[in-house]
């Protein structure tokens, strides 16, 4: 099942090239009062809600998904966990290029650990990445993103995939420089999630997922998650050894080699065939 958010906070089910408006199902979520939950209520109840979403989609006339404005697919991610240098060839390219490492010590992920991106940096596929510092280098990083489906703490990798609700494409946009990763990668609009979330049953094996990004029609990154240093399951084990993951938390699994700068006016097309494709514009920040 493919779940999107679009236009004015509408909820949709995507079937083929059409989106079916299922927003009415959200009325069945529990009413909340302060203190508000820090996790995503729909993702938390997704198993229970799936039949309702399917029924609502059956009843709703579809419209072309091309004609809607796609928002981030998860309403309220509590945190965005991200993996640094999690492909060996990307580690090699960062080590080799001062424009990428800026004198920072770059360690293998097992030593570096994970980092967090601000939730305020998130946009959807129809948003525009605004280059905030045009005199510095802003790079694209295409990544497979896992959406956590249930509370996960001290999870073993053997069990980890049962905690995944679904997947989407992520762009971990990055201004290069000497600052901490979480600072450079949390600029407004520097986290793109989309085009929708595909439920986990549609990606049977997250260790064999192709991912690509083109900029202005030229392929810049083209890889497969089999080359991840830590797999999705191992990343969940690693993350939950330190902290609890909650429904709706987003896990960005790292980017392969081929990162390169983008400028206002560029057009990025990120594709994971088992999810879909999203066209994201780069503009002024
Ligand atoms: Mn990244």
5-59 per-position pLDDT tens digit: 999 999 999 999 999 999 999 999 999 999 999 999 999 999 999 999 999 999 9
Span from the CA of 253 to the centroid of ligand 1 (angstroms): 7
For the chain, the structural domain boundaries read 2-71, 80-284
pLDDT at 255: 96
Length, in residues, of the chain: 285
Distance of CA 12 from the midpoint of ligand 1 (Å): 28
- The rounded distance, in Å, linking the Cα atoms of 117 and 254 is 13
**Contact present, 283 and 207 (Cβ < 8 Å):** no
Q: Specify the CATH superfamily of domain 80-284.
A: Fumarylacetoacetase-like, C-terminal domain (3.90.850.10)
pLDDT at 192 over 90: yes
- Strand-pair partners of 81: 116, 251
pLDDT at residue 107, as a whole number = 86
Q: What is the mean pLDDT of residues 74-92?
A: 94
CA-to-CA dists, residue 98 to 121, 137, 215, angstroms: 26, 12, 23
- pLDDT tier for residue 105 given thresholds of 50, 70 and 90: confident
pLDDT exceeds 90 at position 269: yes
Distance (angstroms) between ligand 1 centre and the Cα of 214 equals 16
Segment 226-249 mean pLDDT: 97
* pLDDT computed for residue 239 by the predictor: 98
Task: Give 180 Cα–ligand 1 centroid separation in angstroms.
Answer: 13
pTM given for the model? 0.97
Ligand 1 mean position to 242 CA, how many Å?
A: 20
Residue 106 alpha carbon to ligand 1 centre in Å: 13
Q: What are phi and psi of 247, to 5 degrees?
A: -55, 130
Q: How far is the CA of 143 from the centre of ligand 1 (A)?
A: 7
For residue 152, how far is its CA from the centre of ligand 1 (angstroms)? 22
Convert the pLDDT of each residue in 193-235 to its tens digit: 999 999 999 998 999 999 999 999 999 999 999 999 999 999 9
| C-alpha 87 to ligand 1 mean position (Å) | 10
* Residue 134 CA, ligand 1 centroid: distance in Å: 20
Residues 6+ apart with CB under 8 A from 219: 212, 213
């Amino acid at each position: 099942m493919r779940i999107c958010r679009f236009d004015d906070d509408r909820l949709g089910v995507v079937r083929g090239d059409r989106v079916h408006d299922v927003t009415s199902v959200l009325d069945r979520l529990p009413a909340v009062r302060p203190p508000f939950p820090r996790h995503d209520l729909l993702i938390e109840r997704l198993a229970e809600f799936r039949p309702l979403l399917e029924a609502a989609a059956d009843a709703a006339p579809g419209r072309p998904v091309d004609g809607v404005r796609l928002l981030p697919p998860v309403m309220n991610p509590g945190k965005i966990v991200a993996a640094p240098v999690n492909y060996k060839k990307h580690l090699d390219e960062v080590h080799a290029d001062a424009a990428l490492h800026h004198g920072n010590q770059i360690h293998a992920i097992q030593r570096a650990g994970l980092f967090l991106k601000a939730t305020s940096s998130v946009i959807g596929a129809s948003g525009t990445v605004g280059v905030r510092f045009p005199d510095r280098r802003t790079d694209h990083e295409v990544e497979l993103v896992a959406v956590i489906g249930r509370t996960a703490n001290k999870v073993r990798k053997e069990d980890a995939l049962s905690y995944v609700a679904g997947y989407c494409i992520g762009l971990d946009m990055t201004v290069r420089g000497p600052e901490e990763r979480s600072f450079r990668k949390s600029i407004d609009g520097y986290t793109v999630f989309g085009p929708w979330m595909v439920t986990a049953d549609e990606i049977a094996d997250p260790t064999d997922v192709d991912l690509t990004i083109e900029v202005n029609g030229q392929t810049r990154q083209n890889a497969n998650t089999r080359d991840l240093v830590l797999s999705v399951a191992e990343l969940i084990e690693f993350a939950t050894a330190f902290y609890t993951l909650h429904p709706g938390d987003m896990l960005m699994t790292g980017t392969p080699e081929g990162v390169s700068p983008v400028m206002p006016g560029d057009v990025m097309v990120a594709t994971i065939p088992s999810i879909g494709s999203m066209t994201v514009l780069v503009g002024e920040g």
